[in-house]
Each structure stands twice: as C-alpha cells, then as structure tokens.
Amino acid sequence: MARIKLVEQNEATGAEKERYDELAGRNAVTNMKKGLLNDAATYDAYMAWYTSWNRLVEVIGEKDAILYAHKISTTNSCQLCSLFFISDVKGLGLDPANLVYDEKETLLARLAEQIVKDPTAVSDELIDNLASASPDRRIQARYLERSNQVIKPIPSAGGKGIRALPFGISGIWKVTGC
C-alpha cells in the first residue's frame, strides 16, 4: 500500500502547483517528484542538488564532476547512485569498469574515497596536489584558500569534527543520496 500520495497536476495548489506546472512544461514530471510535490519546501530542498551539481561542473568540469561523483557512489556502495553515475560515465564514452584517470582525476578519486571513508582525514598534501593539478589559476587559488578549512575540524553534534572541502565538493557526496 502506498504511503505517500503522488500529486497530480490538477490536484496541486499554491507553490506546489507552480512547481508542478514548471516541471510539466519541461516534460520532467516523475513519480518521485510527484511525491515530493506534496510539500514545496521538500521539493525545493531536493532540487537544490542541481544547484550544487551545476556549481561543481562549473568549477571542475563535467567529466571530472561525473568521475568524482561516480567514485563517491561506488566507494559508498550505493547501488542506486552508482547506477546513475555509471550511466553518466558511459555517456562520456568511457567504460566504468576500466577507467583510466589522468593526474587530476586520480586526485579527485582519492578525495572521493577519503570523504566517504573518513572526511576528517583529508590531507593537506591531497589538497595541495589538487590545486597544483588544476590548470586554472583561479581554481588553484580557491583550493589553497579553502585548504585551511580542510585541515581544521569543525565540531559536530556527535563530537567528531567534520571538515569543509573545496567548492562544496563534500556536498556532492551528500546529494548523491549516498
């Protein structure tokens, strides 16, 4: 028995209807979004993933973002996310089972593994190497600018510190659903 009502366009009102109409206009209504459209704030929180994703792509490029997210998903053993990003990796013309990384992709893969296994243990060396591997001086500066945040634990409710990572990269880990 279904526990969450899937909202139909003719049933939606107010903010939920605005969001539904926008989705319908793009032919982008899915059952998951119909469930989320029971509440506009919940739907908006879910859709914020795209803002984070677009920023990551803007900063490191689409290929690197896809490979990074794929590594997070496979390291975390999230089958749903892994399948999603495997599809994206194939869309790049690559074989997900036989990936060959360049220097920067290798570093991003190491970062992805580290934030899944222990986000508080990201090394200064890894951040410095990521900055050096970036051909864009603005990106280098941002990695280095943010590296102090990476090495300083931020207290959390559980008592274990967490660290901020450059460009909200750690946010992609959270929004992949893993």
Q: What is d(CA 113, CA 68) in angstroms, rounded to the nearest whole number?
A: 9
Are 111 and 122 in contact by the 8 Å Cβ rule? The answer is yes
Residue type, 133: A
pLDDT tens for 63-115 read: 999 999 999 989 988 888 888 889 999 999 999 999 999 999 999 999 889 88
Which residue segments constitute the domains of the chain, with CATH numbers given? 61-175 (1.20.1290)
Tokens of 178: 């893993």
> What number of CA atoms fall less than 13 Å from residue 53's CA on the CB side?
16
126-129 contact pairs (CB < 8 A, 24+)? 127/151, 127/166
Q: What's the pLDDT score for residue 95?
A: 96
* Cα dihedral sign, 108-63-75-47: positive
Mean pLDDT of the chain: 79
Tokens 């090495």, located at residue: 151
Q: For residue 141, what pLDDT is reported?
A: 52
Averaged pLDDT, groups of 10, the chain, 178 residues long: 87 96 94 94 91 85 92 88 88 95 92 87 84 67 46 38 40 42
- CA distances 71 to 31, 50, 83, Å, are 27, 18, 12
- Please report the pLDDT score of residue 119 as a whole number: 81
Long-range contacts of 53-56, Cβ-Cβ distance < 8 Å, separation of 24 or more? 53/172, 53/175, 55/167, 55/168, 56/167, 56/168, 56/169, 56/172
Query: Hey, what are 78's tokens?
Result: 């999230």
